[in-house]
Structure 1
C-alpha cells in the first residue's frame, strides 16, 4: 500500500516544530511548510475569523451532543425491548450506528480544530478522520437506500414479496458496509486523496487537486455515493406514494389508513431532511472539484460541512416521532408509566409497527 500524504494541509497558524522548512508558494498570501516526513502544510492567512471558529465550535458541540444522545437512545431502546428486535429495525440500528459514528468521530475533532483555529492533529489523523467520515456517511446513505427499496417491495407488491427475515437483514447490512468500504477506500490505495478542507477545521476527500486520478475518483464517488442512492430512494418513495394514492380509502388501505399516512409522512420527511443536510455540501464539493475554488470562501466552505454533519440528528427524531411502538418503549424506559399507558392505548390495534403494516396485515387480507 503506498504511503498516504496529506498535501496542502490548511492551518490558520503555522504548525509547530523546529524541523519545518518554510517557503513561499506563488504570488498569493499563503505559506507552505514542509514537514520532516515530506508532507506539506499551508498556512492560510485568509482563513476563518475568530468569530467564525467560535460559531462553528458551538454548532459542532450541539450536533455532537445531540447526535450521540439521539442515536444512543435508539440503540438503548432497541436493546432493552425484544419486541423491537425485528429484521426491519435491524436496518434502523445499522443507521443509528453509522450516524453515531459521525457524531463521535466528526464533531469532537472538528470542534477542537475550531477552537485551535486549525487542524492540529497531523496528517495521519487527517487521513483517518476523512476515511471514517466518508465511510459512515456512505453507510448512512446506503442504509436509507436499502430501507427505501425494501419498503418499495413490501408496500407496492405485498403478496409477491416475502417478509424480511433476520438472515436477510444481516445480509443487507453486510452488503451495505461492503459497498461503503469499496466506495471510500480507494484514496488509501492511491486513487484520489484525503486532505484538510475549507478553512482547516475538518478533513475530507481532496476536492481541489486537478489530476486524472483525483478527478476520476471524485466522479466515481458522486456517482455511487450520492446520485445512485438518490435515484433509488426517489424511485422507491415515488412508487410508494403512487401506490397509496391509487388505493385511496378502500380495501387494504381502509384497514390501515392511519398507518399509511404516517409512512407517507415519514418517507417525505426523511427525503427532505437528507437533501437539506447534504445538498449544500454536495454543491460546494462540485464547485471545488469542477469549478473555480476561489468562489468558495472559508465561511462559505465551513457552513455546508457543519450542516452535513447535522444529518446524524434527524433520523432518530423522525423514527421516534412517527413510530408509536418505539415511542411507547421510550416512555417506558423513562418510567413515565401514565404516558406509556396513553401511548399503549393509542398504539392499538392498527399501529403495531408503523414501518411494517403491510407485512403484518397482509395475511388477514388474504384470508378474507
Structure 2
C-alpha cells in the first residue's frame, strides 16, 4: 500500500477532516482577535506582552500553513502532494511546535523576573530585550526544524497516512540521538523551567500578600491582579504541555518499542489532540481577561453595527496577557498617597 494512502476508514477520514476544519477556523479567528486587540492597544502595551503576541503568531501560523492541507488530504483519503508536501508539512509542524514551547518557556522566565518586585515602577524587561528574545525563539525553532533535512533525524508520514511529522519509527538507530536531544531540550527541560518559574511566582505572591495585607488595601489588589495573570499564564503553558504529552508518549513508544503494535486509530487520537493546542489560548484570554472579553464584544458590536453601551476601562484589568500596564501608575499613586498621609 502507498505510504500516503489513509489506513483509516472513509467515515473516520471525513470526521477527521471536519474536526480539523473546525479547529482551523476557530484557531485562525481566535488568534486573529488576539492580534487585533494587540494592535488596538499597542501604544499601551508593555514589553513582556510582546511574547504573548508572538505566541499568537505561532498558533496562527500553524493553523494557516498546515491545517487546510490536512483537511483536504483527509477528505481525499490520501495525502496530497507526495514527498515534497510531506516534507513541508513535517517541517512546518515541527517549526511552529518548537517555537511555541520555547515561547512559553521564555514567557515563564520573564513573568518570574517581573514578579520579583511587584511594587517596583521600574521596567525590568525592556523592548530591546523582548525583541531579541522573540528573534532567538524563531531562530532556535528554525535550526531544530532544519536538522532532519540536514541528516540528523528525518521527516515522514504518520502511520495513519493523513499527516506528516518526524518519522519516529524510522529513527530507532541512526536518529536515536536526535530523539533523545529533542525530548531533553524541547520538552523535559522547558517543562521543568515552566513549573519552577510559576511555582516560584506563586510563593512570591503568597508572601507578598501576607506581608503587605495588614499595611495597605492597595497592594493586595495588585497581588490579586498578578494572581489572575498567573492563572492565565499557567493555563496557557500547561494546556500546551497536556495537549502534546499523549503524542509524545506515542512517539517515544514508536522509538523504544514496536511501532507496528500501535493501531492507526490509536496513533490518530494523540495527533489530533495535539493540533487542538492552537485553539485554547484565545479561549483562555476570553474567559479570564475582562479587558480582552470587553474588547472582543466591542469589536463584535461594531461589526454588526450596534452601539456599545459604554467604553469601560477597568484599571485593575487592562492587560490581556502577562503584566498589568498600569501597575506602574498604581504604585506611583499609592506612593503619593502615602507621602501625603505622612
- Shorter chain as denominator, the TM-score bin is 0.7 to 0.9
Rounded to whole Å, the distance in 1 between the matches of 2:126 and 2:158 is 42
Q: Map Cα deviations across residues 88-126 of structure 1 (whole Å, 9 max, x no partner).
A: 222111111110111112211111111122213110111
The residue matched to 1:255 in structure 2 has which SS?
helix
Within the candidate set 3, 24, 37, 1:10 is matched to 3
Where does residue 277 of structure 1 map in the other structure?
A: 243
Please list, as runs of the form range in 1=range in 2, the aligned pairs for 1:98-247 lying within 5 A after superposition: 98-158=58-118, 159=120, 162-247=123-208
> Deviation of residue 311 (structure 1)?
0.5
Rounded to whole Å, the distance in 1 between the matches of 2:8 and 2:196 is 40
Rounded to whole Å, the distance in 1 between the matches of 2:279 and 2:310 is 24
Contact 1:118–1:199, Cα closer than 8 Å, also in 2: no
Assess, with a 3 A threshold, how the Cα gap between structure 1 residues 56 and 171 changes in structure 2: closer, same or farther.
Answer: same
Where does residue 298 of structure 1 map in the other structure?
A: 264
Please list, as runs of the form range in 1=range in 2, the aligned pairs for 1:35-46 lying within 5 A after superposition: none
Question: Does residue 53 of structure 1 match 2:19?
Answer: no
CA RMSD of aligned residues (A): 2.4
Number of equivalent positions = 324
Bigger drift between 231-240 and 313-322 goes to 313-322
Contact 1:197–1:203, Cα closer than 8 Å, also in 2: yes
The residue matched to 1:187 in structure 2 has which SS?
coil
Contact 1:81–1:329, Cα closer than 8 Å, also in 2: no
Higher relative contact order (CA 8 A, sep 6+): 2
Please list, as runs of the form range in 1=range in 2, the aligned pairs for 1:353-368 lying within 5 A after superposition: 353=319, 355-357=322-324, 360=328, 361-362=330-331, 368=338
Assess, with a 3 A threshold, how the Cα gap between structure 1 residues 82 and 260 changes in structure 2: closer, same or farther.
Answer: closer
Rounded to whole Å, the distance in 1 between the matches of 2:335 and 2:105 is 29
Bigger drift between 164-173 and 56-65 goes to 164-173
Rounded to whole Å, the distance in 2 between the matches of 1:239 and 1:9 is 51
Where does residue 255 of structure 2 map in the other structure?
A: 289
Question: Does residue 73 of structure 1 match 2:33?
Answer: yes
Contact 1:91–1:143, Cα closer than 8 Å, also in 2: yes
The residue matched to 1:87 in structure 2 has which SS?
coil
Rounded to whole Å, the distance in 1 between the matches of 2:176 and 2:273 is 24
Where does residue 44 of structure 1 map in the other structure?
A: none
Question: Does residue 331 of structure 1 match 2:294?
Answer: no
TM-score of the pair, normalised by structure 2: 0.86
The residue matched to 1:256 in structure 2 has which SS?
helix
Contact 1:78–1:84, Cα closer than 8 Å, also in 2: no
> Deviation of residue 300 (structure 1)?
0.6
Rounded to whole Å, the distance in 1 between the matches of 2:307 and 2:168 is 52
Q: Which runs of 4+ in 1 moved over 6 A?
A: none
Rounded to whole Å, the distance in 1 between the matches of 2:186 and 2:253 is 17
TM-score of the pair, normalised by structure 1: 0.81
Assess, with a 3 A threshold, how the Cα gap between structure 1 residues 364 and 292 changes in structure 2: closer, same or farther.
Answer: farther
The residue matched to 1:204 in structure 2 has which SS?
strand
Contact 2:59–2:96, Cα closer than 8 Å, also in 1: yes
Unaligned runs of 5+ in 2: 213-217
Q: Map Cα deviations across residues 149-168 of structure 1 (whole Å, 9 max, x no partner).
A: 10001113445984322212
> Deviation of residue 199 (structure 1)?
0.5
Could you say which structure has the higher strand fraction? Answer: 1
The residue matched to 1:208 in structure 2 has which SS?
helix
